Structure 1
Amino acid sequence: MHIRNKWLLISVGLGVLLNPLNSSMIAVAIARMQQVYHLAYTEVSWVIFVFYLASAVAQPVMGKASDLFGLKKIFLAGLVIAFIASLLAPLSPYFGLLLVFRILQAIGTSMLVAVGMAIVRIHITEKQATALSVMSIFLSGAAALGPFIGGILIHWWDWQAIFIVNIPFIVASYVLAWRFIPNVQQPTSLTRQLSLRKWLALIDAPGILLFTVGLVGLLVGLLSSKSYGHLSIKIVIVSLIGLVSLGAFVRYELKTQTPFIPLRTFAKYPAMTRVNIAYMLVNTLYYSLFFGLPTYLQTVRHLSEFHTGLLMLSLGLCSLVVSPLAGRWIDKSGPQPALLLSAILMTLGSLWIVTWQPTSPMISVCLALAAFGVSNGLNNVGMQAALFQHSPKDIIGVASGLFNTSRYLGTILSSLLISIVMGDTFDTGGLRILGMILTVIALYLIFMNRKRSPSSLPNTDHSH
């Protein structure tokens, strides 16, 4: 690979790792933020909700924006926004202001992910497969090591360090990107000639607004009723606004020509829809453990952030090690056997959580984390392969977008599940109930994968 391409790859990689790194480091910071801002878990959990909600909206929008402004400009702008958020978030005197900077951080880092892979595909033509695999290492490695890095930073400094640590990555990425990403003149296209009103219609601004208002309304209603222990008129009104907005969103998306989430595609390709449902459930299950366990270990088992991050490292490392091995297995046998094994491991891990006592040895925690880590490594490759298997080639771009949306919805649902089940006071009993629910989800995934054996899968390659 040419030396210039290597530096381009590094510049993009340093940028795209920021999104998974910041979505995972926060897992070990929740308990500390509860102490600092004197908030309950259901309130602090918004720091997770807003990041994934903003990412779900920003990534497809910024992908379209790159056609108007160019890949390099969007990438550099994303770095600037991420820099501002990382610099100001640690100074937040109020939790509400921290949420604003967290949203800003999600938008900035999503801009990098949205165009980063496209930059590599367009500008690195030599050994492109190798380049893309390096990019996936940046993404998966950052997600896997995030809790460990966050644990070290909070242990030696404080929660502000998980934002400040971004700044060296951002500065290095900006300098290298400015130097090595080519300045390509954007070809004159239809989008460059659009008015603001038509541009908003193209990105489906009404759909995005209805989706955001609906989801936020429902989350506020559910979490508020859990926190206060009763239904008030205000909670009912907010929940109804959420439900009505989501209903209007579904109706609007079925009619518009450029939907934010193309719901018609789900109805047209049921096999692909099942893959997305399974992926949403997998992420709900995985991230319930990913976000719930660190807070449990710190508040109930009284582990430090450092030791919590060290324990969570077994989850990430198992996932990283298994992913390439899973790729070879899936190439030979297809995704179904790997996905079935993954569901079995998640079931065993969830059942293992149900047996935990306040004095259970830490090796027991490691075993459960290892089971979930291996299953996540299998899912990382297996779900993507299943998507390609069940998606017609002529809509693979749309299918990939829906796939990412399913992941974000799964992560949001995971945090909601933790808040509802565990409430504001984490204890072993609540963790057992969470383990039971996760066991039911995992058993359903086993059922889904056993039902869809390779021999019974329909051929959905509509590549005509």
Structure 2
Amino acid sequence: MRAHNWWLMIAVGLGILLNPLNSSMVAVAIPGLQQVFHLDFTKVSWIIFSFYIASAVAQPVMGRASDLYGRRRIFLIGLIVAFAASLLAPLSATFGWLIVFRILQSIGTSMMVAVGMAIIRIHVTEKQATALSVLSIFLSGAAAIGPFVGGMLMDWWDWRAIFFVNIPFVIGSFVLAWRVIPRDDHTTTDHNRSIRQWLTRMDAIGIILFTIGLVALLFGLLSVKASTTISLPHILIGLIGCILLFVFIRQEIRAKSPFIPLRVFAQYPAMTLVNLEFMLVNLLYYSLFFGLPSYLQTVRHVSESHTGILMLSLGLCSLVASPFAGRWIDRSGPRPALLVSALLMTFSSAWLVMLNENSPTISVCVALAAFGVSNGLNNVGLQSALFQSAPKEMIGVASGLFITSRYFGTILSSLLIGVIMGGTFSFEGFRVLGICLTLLSVSLVMLSWRRRKAKSAQESSMNQAV
């Protein structure tokens, strides 16, 4: 592979790693943010919600916008937005401003993720599989070491460091990207559409309904739990959220270019179940990912740096398991690996329930290691299951829905933790969380079995249609 292509991969890799790095570093910073801004756990959890909701909206939108403005331009603008957010977030005087800059950071990093893979596919014409695997290392490696890096930074300074640490990556990526990413071919961009046509193509109405409806529903649910009283404003906000999401579903069914193509779910039940399984897997994984650091720091009084070291076992086990999962799935298909993954999640969730306040801190590594291995199996296994269940002509749409399912699972994990814990993170709440995760893990095994039957039915239906 030419030296230029390697520099191109490094430029893109330094940019796209910012999204998983910033989504994972914050897991260790939540207790510190609670103390600094004097917030309960429910309110501080919006630092997670805001990032993933913004990412869920921004990535598909920016992917489509790159057709109009060009991929290189979107990538560079994303770096500028991420730089501004990383510089301004540490200066936030209130938690509200921090959320604003967190959303801005999510949009900027999502712009790079949305077009980074496409840049490599277009401009690296030799050994594309190697190039894409290098980018996957940037993405998965950043997610794996995020809590460790966040813990070290919090111990060395405070929460501001998890934003300032982005600046060297942004500058390095920008300098390289400016030099090595080829300029956009204007013949491949579409400047002939009107603003109204582009808003219709991007399904602006659907995006607005989805965003406002989801935020309103989450705010209503979490406000009721945090205040321990059911007030009329909370009920009304939650109801407004439900109504808007219902209208959003009707909009997506009727739209010619929907933000989330819901009609596909009815047409391909096996693919639908893969997405449900992926959403459930991420609900389980991120409930542990965001819940355990708060448990260690708030209940067990473990330092940020030691929490980061313990959480490192989760990411490392996931990274180590992924290549072995690939070989296993190539030989036996995804079903055995996904079954083992579900059993590992069930075991580790039950292990958490059995912990008590006097259990050795190192014992949580058993649950972390099991969840890490299961995550490595799931990342490869569910992607393979998606390719098997989705028709070739639908693979682009299927991949987009797959990513959306991940975001839904992550958002639901934060909601689950917030509803269980309320305003205060306690040992009793953590045990209830472990019981919920155990039940969800058992349902994951059942869903996997159900998906196999749906796949057979879908194949029979498609054969009859032919």
| TM-score tier after normalising by the smaller chain length | over 0.9
Cα–Cα, structure 1 residues 393 and 205, in superposed 2: closer, same or farther, change >3 Å?
Answer: same
Matches of 2:110 and 2:104, distance apart in 1 = 10
Matches of 1:213 and 1:281, distance apart in 2 = 23
1:220 aligned residue: 219
C-alpha deviations, 1:133-175, integer Å up to 9, x for none? Answer: 0000000000010000000011001110000000000000000
Alignment of 1:150-189 (within 5 A): 150-187=150-187
1:68 aligned residue: 68
2:295 aligned residue: 296
1:25 aligned residue: 25
C-alpha deviations, 1:88-118, integer Å up to 9, x for none? Answer: 0000000000000000000000000000000
2:309 aligned residue: 310
Matches of 1:434 and 1:251, distance apart in 2 = 34
Structure 2, unaligned runs of 5 or more: none
1:2 aligned residue: 2
Q: Note if contact 1:51-1:106 (Cα within 8 Å) is conserved in structure 2.
A: yes
Q: Note if contact 1:336-1:454 (Cα within 8 Å) is conserved in structure 2.
A: no
Q: Note if contact 1:221-1:235 (Cα within 8 Å) is conserved in structure 2.
A: yes
Is it true that 1:142 corresponds to 2:142 in the alignment?
Answer: yes
SS of 1:29 mapped into structure 2: helix
Cα–Cα, structure 1 residues 388 and 202, in superposed 2: closer, same or farther, change >3 Å?
Answer: same
Matches of 2:183 and 2:388, distance apart in 1 = 36
Counterpart code for 1:123: H
2:192 aligned residue: 193
Matches of 1:457 and 1:340, distance apart in 2 = 18
1:362 deviates by: 2.0
Q: Note if contact 1:254-1:263 (Cα within 8 Å) is conserved in structure 2.
A: yes
Counterpart code for 2:367: A
Alignment of 1:318-333 (within 5 A): 318-333=317-332
1:88 aligned residue: 88
2:352 aligned residue: 353
Is it true that 1:386 corresponds to 2:360 in the alignment?
Answer: no
Matches of 2:373 and 2:178, distance apart in 1 = 38
Counterpart code for 2:67: D
Counterpart code for 2:209: L
Counterpart code for 2:163: F
Matches of 1:56 and 1:400, distance apart in 2 = 13
1:103 aligned residue: 103
Matches of 1:63 and 1:264, distance apart in 2 = 21
SS of 1:425 mapped into structure 2: coil
C-alpha deviations, 1:163-211, integer Å up to 9, x for none? Answer: 000000000000000000011323256x421111111111000000000
1:231 aligned residue: 230
Cα–Cα, structure 1 residues 456 and 39, in superposed 2: closer, same or farther, change >3 Å?
Answer: closer
Moved more, 427-436 or 304-313: 427-436
Matches of 1:30 and 1:43, distance apart in 2 = 11
Is it true that 1:400 corresponds to 2:412 in the alignment?
Answer: no
Matches of 1:104 and 1:181, distance apart in 2 = 24
Structure 1, unaligned runs of 5 or more: none
Cα–Cα, structure 1 residues 127 and 223, in superposed 2: closer, same or farther, change >3 Å?
Answer: same
Matches of 1:387 and 1:453, distance apart in 2 = 12
Counterpart code for 2:39: L
Q: Note if contact 1:271-1:390 (Cα within 8 Å) is conserved in structure 2.
A: yes
1:38 deviates by: 0.2
Counterpart code for 1:178: W
SS of 1:193 mapped into structure 2: coil
Moved more, 440-449 or 1-10: 440-449
Cα–Cα, structure 1 residues 455 and 218, in superposed 2: closer, same or farther, change >3 Å?
Answer: closer
1:457 deviates by: 3.4
Matches of 1:455 and 1:262, distance apart in 2 = 20
Q: Note if contact 1:356-1:428 (Cα within 8 Å) is conserved in structure 2.
A: no
Matches of 1:456 and 1:224, distance apart in 2 = 41
Q: Note if contact 1:74-1:115 (Cα within 8 Å) is conserved in structure 2.
A: yes
Matches of 1:85 and 1:184, distance apart in 2 = 26
Alignment of 1:338-377 (within 5 A): 338-377=337-376
Counterpart code for 2:214: L
Counterpart code for 1:92: S
Matches of 1:242 and 1:354, distance apart in 2 = 34
Matches of 2:457 and 2:231, distance apart in 1 = 49
Q: Note if contact 2:62-2:74 (Cα within 8 Å) is conserved in structure 1.
A: yes
1:237 deviates by: 1.3
Aligned identity (percent) is 65
Matches of 1:435 and 1:359, distance apart in 2 = 17
1:276 aligned residue: 275
Q: Note if contact 1:67-1:186 (Cα within 8 Å) is conserved in structure 2.
A: no
Deviation beyond 6 Å, 4+ runs, structure 1:
461-464
Matches of 1:65 and 1:8, distance apart in 2 = 22
Cα–Cα, structure 1 residues 72 and 353, in superposed 2: closer, same or farther, change >3 Å?
Answer: same
SS of 1:152 mapped into structure 2: helix
C-alpha deviations, 1:420-453, integer Å up to 9, x for none? Answer: 1122221221111101110111001112223455
SS of 1:457 mapped into structure 2: helix
Q: Note if contact 1:58-1:110 (Cα within 8 Å) is conserved in structure 2.
A: yes
1:232 deviates by: 1.1
Corresponding pairs, count: 463
